[in-house]
Chains A and B, each alone.
Chain A
Amino acid sequence: MADVTESKITDEHRAMIGQRSDPIEVVPHTEDAQRMRDLLGDTDPRWADGTGIAPPYILAMLEPRLPAELSPQVLSSGILTQTEWKFSQPIKLEEPLQAVTQLIDVRDRLGGRYGYSVLVMFQTSYLNGDGEEAAASLRTITQFDRPES
Chain B
Amino acid sequence: MSQRYFEDIATDDELEPREQLPTEDKAVEFFGRDNPTNPAFGDAEAGRRMGFGGALVPGLLKLSWITNYVGMWAGSEANLRSVRVAFRRPDIAGRPLTLAGRVVDKRQEDGVNVVELEVVTLADDQPTVRGNVQVEIPSRP
Using a CB–CB cutoff of 8 Å, the interface residues on chain A facing chain B are 32, 35-36, 39-46, 55-57, 60-61, 63, 80-87, 138
CA distance A36 to B35 in the complex (A): 13
CB A117 to nearest CB in B, in angstroms, measures: 14
Q: What CA separation (Å) do A47 and B87 show in the bound complex? A: 27
Query: Inter-chain contact count A-B, CB under 8 Å?
Result: 75
Q: Is the CB of B84 within 8 A of A87?
A: no
When the two chains form their complex, are residues A86 and B81 in contact, meaning their CB atoms are under 8 A apart? yes
Does B63 lie at the interface of the complex (its beta carbon under 8 Å from any beta carbon of A)? Answer: yes
Determine the distance from Cα of A60 to Cα of B30 in the docked complex, in whole angstroms: 9
Task: Count residues of B near A (Cβ-Cβ below 8 Å).
Answer: 27
B67 contacts A by Cβ under 8 Å:
yes
Give B contacts to A, CB under 8 Å: 1, 26, 29-32, 35, 59-61, 63-65, 67-68, 71-72, 76, 79-87
A86 to B136, CA, bound (A): 13
Shortest distance between the CB of A102 and any CB in chain B (Å): 18
* B residues less than 8 Å from A83 (CB atoms): 59-60, 63, 84-85, 87
In Å, the complex CA distance between A81 and B85 comes to 8
Q: Which residues of A contact B30 (CB under 8 A)?
A: 35-36, 39, 60
Could you tell me the distance in whole angstroms from the C-beta of B61 to the nearest C-beta in chain A?
7
Given contacts A36-B30, A39-B30, contact A81 B67 (CB under 8 A): no
| B81 and A87 within 8 A (CB) | yes
- Name the residue of chain B whose CB is nearest to the CB of A138: B84
Given contacts A39-B30, A44-B72, A87-B81, 18 further A-B contacts (CB under 8 A): A43-B72, A44-B76, A45-B76, A56-B71, A57-B60, A57-B63, A60-B30, A60-B60, A60-B64, A63-B60, A80-B87, A81-B86, A83-B84, A85-B83, A87-B79, A87-B80, A87-B82, A138-B84
